[in-house]
Amino acid sequence: MGQTLSEQIDRIKNLIEQTEPIKGECGITRACSKEEKEAEKQNRAANIQSSIQQKIDLKDMAKEKKLSLDLDYNYLNDKRDKDDKNTVRNLYNTFDKNLLVGGRYNNEQKFAALYKVFENIKRRPQLSYAIRLRQKYPTFDYTSVTLQQLAKIASELTWDKFVDWFLSGGPSIT
According to DSSP, residue 71 is labeled: T
| Res 22: pLDDT | 54
pLDDT at 30 over 70: no
What pLDDT does 58 receive?
84
HSE toward the beta carbon, residue 63, CA cutoff 13 A: 7
Q: Which residues pair with 73 in a beta bridge?
A: 79
Please name the residues in contact with 33: beta carbons below 8 A apart, sequence gap of 6 or more.
23, 24
Across residues 17-40, what is the average pLDDT? Answer: 64
pLDDT of residue 21: 53
Instruction: Report how far residue 76's alpha carbon sits from residue 68's, in angstroms, rounded to the nearest whole number.
Output: 8
**pLDDT for residue 88 is more than 90:** yes
Q: What percent of the chain has a predicted confidence (pLDDT) above 70?
A: 87
Q: What is the dihedral of CA 124, 118, 77, 103, to 10 degrees?
A: -140
- pLDDT of 66 over the 70 cut: yes
Which sign, positive or negative, has the C-alpha torsion 76, 79, 83, 88?
A: positive
Give backbone dihedrals phi and psi of 19, rounded to 5 degrees, phi first.
-90, -40
Mean pLDDT for the chain? 83
What does pTM read for this prediction? 0.67
**Other C-beta atoms lying within 10 Å of the C-beta of residue 55:** 10
- pLDDT tops 90 at residue 35: no
For 126, phi then psi, to 5°, come to -95, 5
pLDDT of residue 17: 66
Are 112 and 121 a contacting pair, CB within 8 Å? no
Tell me which of 114 and 58 has the higher pLDDT: 114
For the stretch 94-112, pLDDT in tens is 999 999 998 899 999 999 9
What are the pLDDT digits (tens) for 140-154? 777 788 999 999 989
CA distances (Å), origin 43, targets 33, 40, 46 = 15, 5, 5
Mean pLDDT of the 151-163 span? 91
Q: What are phi and psi for residue 116, nearest 5 degrees? A: -70, -35
- 29 band by pLDDT with thresholds 50, 70 and 90: low
Contact 10, 18 (CB under 8 A): no
